[in-house]
Amino acid sequence: MKRLLVILVLIGVLVPAVAQAAANKFSFNDVVFPDGTSGELEAGSKITQKSTFTSCSYFSDNYADYLGYFQSSEFASEDAAEVLAFCLAHYHERETS
């Protein structure tokens, strides 16, 4: 009986820990966007067992103006340099509304 209780407790602790998604947030300052302007970039990238998702938010210098966002379920990474390159590559595809 004690053995079964220990197993159930371990399952209750381990299963939620494994099922959690790896979510990463990144802030990039003084970025030069593909159109030559500089600004700030906020990005989030999430990896789960079944899907991936990355969101990029673009701002003018010192967050003065919101320049738009881009989202994709085709890419995700825990590496900041890869996420920055992905967001810059999709800068011209951003939604501005």
In a domain, 16, yes or no: no
45 within 8 A of 26, measured Cβ to Cβ: yes
Give 97's pLDDT tier (boundaries 50, 70, 90). confident
In a domain, 13, yes or no: no
Residue type, 40: E
- What is the count of structural domains for the chain? 1
24 contacts: CB under 8 Å, gap ≥ 6? 44, 45, 46, 77, 78, 83
Give the per-residue pLDDT at 22: 76
Taking 50 as the threshold, does the pLDDT of residue 30 lie above it?
yes
Pairwise CA distance, residues 48 & 21, whole Å? 5
In a domain, 7, yes or no: no
In a domain, 61, yes or no: yes
Taking 50 as the threshold, does the pLDDT of residue 57 lie above it?
yes
Range of the domain at 33: 21-93
Nearest to residue 52, comparing CAs of 14, 16, 86? 86
